[in-house]
Every structure is written in C-alpha cells, then in structure tokens.
Amino acid sequence: GLPYQTRKLVQLLRNGIVEGSINPFGGELHGQNGVVQIEGFPPLPSTQIVEMNWLADNVVGTIPQLDDEPKVPAL
C-alpha cells in the first residue's frame, strides 16, 4: 500500500544494503543513551549488529524485555 516512489526508494536502499554499497551501521551512530560509534571508525560488524540491545536516538520506543509477553490482537 506504499506510494510508487516510496517503494522505489525502499528497493534502492535494500539493494544497496545487500550489495554492501550502503551501510546503515557505519559513520557516527547515536543511541538513545548517547554516542555508540564515532565517525571515522569502521561500521559495526554483523555479530555486533545481531546482538544489538540499543535503539538509535531517532527511534521512538523501547526494546521489550525478554520476559514481556507478546501483545497479540484479539480476533
């Protein structure tokens, strides 16, 4: 249900990430609790990305605790 131009942009970004020409985990990264990575350092390695326990400062929300029950919509 996304507009055509938005779908094209998402596909372009996806292709860039898959090809390795775009890295969303490179450059200066700011977590909600401060700077996580400083500009000029290599991008986060994949092992660190899959184990992330922080959100970027521009993300609204929190990471749920492991003991939180998933919220399933009622049918």
Residue 74 has pLDDT above 70, yes or no: no
Q: 72 lies in a domain?
A: no
In the chain, how many domains are there? Answer: 1
pLDDT at residue 46 greater than cutoff 90:
no
pLDDT of residue 11: 96
Expressed as residue numbers, the domain containing 17 is: 4-50
Q: What is the pLDDT of residue 56?
A: 85
Q: What is the pLDDT of residue 69?
A: 67
Domain assignment of residue 24, yes or no: yes
Residues 10-35: tens digit of each pLDDT: 999 999 989 989 888 877 888 888 87
| pLDDT at site 4 | 97
DSSP per-residue codes, the chain = ---HHHHHHHHHHHHHHHHTS--TTSS-EEETTEEEE-TTSPPPPHHHHHT----BTT--S-PPPTTSPP-PPP-
